[in-house]
Amino acid sequence: MCFHRGVTSDVSTEAQPPGLLYVVKQLELLVRSRLDEVLRPAGVTTLQYTALTVLAQRPGTTSADLARLSFTTAQSTADLVSGLLKKGLVERAPDPTHRRRLLLDLTDAGRELLVAYGPVVDALEEEMCADLTEWERGALRDLLTRARRSLTPRA
């Protein structure tokens, strides 16, 4: 028996390697706890910060787009965006070509937050990769990306 794997027998007592799903989850739990800690003075959670980085790269993203990128419902993302609006980190503007849509964009405060906290977030990523060579970092990125692609719902 092992983490995230079926328990089909009580006979074997030898510990087996944890499932890949478990290793992914534990790494993410660790990253999130460290990021939440680092981002505390900024008053944003890891998820909120992530949304800001997405908006930095894709200005004009809608709330529904964010929901698809995070594999959740539009309602969950609406709560997230609502928090960012209240903090004044993002703003909305109606899409001229589709009046129902609301395009999101960073405010100056949102951009300043990313500029201020980018370095510490980079430092955390560097710390995570401290034991990996350049080649291994590329391999990790490639493997994670391909795993994501295999699981991604075929739109």
Task: Return residues touching a second copy (CB under 8 A).
Answer: 1-8, 15, 17, 19-35, 46, 49-50, 53-54, 56-57, 69-72, 111, 114-115, 117-119, 121-122, 124-125, 127-132, 136-137, 139-141, 143-152
Which of left, alpha, beta for 66 (phi over 0: left; psi -120 to 50: alpha)?
alpha
Shortest Å distance, C-beta 25 to a second copy: 6
Residue selected from 4, 98, 137, 146 as contacting DNA according to rule CB under 7 A: 98
Query: How many residues does the structure list for the chain?
Result: 155
The structure tokens listed for 49 are 């910060």
Binders of DNA among residues 26 to 85 (CB under 7 A) are 29, 33, 36, 45-48, 62-65, 70, 72-76, 78-81, 83
Shortest Å distance, C-beta 81 to a second copy: 17
15 binds, among DNA, a second copy, none (CB under 5 to 8 A by kind): a second copy
- Using CA atoms, how far apart are residues 119 and 52, in angstroms rounded to an integer? 15
- Using CA atoms, how far apart are residues 75 and 79, in angstroms rounded to an integer? 7
The maximal CA–CA distance of the chain, rounded, in angstroms, is 65
Beta bridge partners of 103: 62, 93
Amino acid at 34: R
Give contact residues for DNA (rule: CB under 7 A).
29, 33, 36, 45-48, 62-65, 70, 72-76, 78-81, 83, 98-102
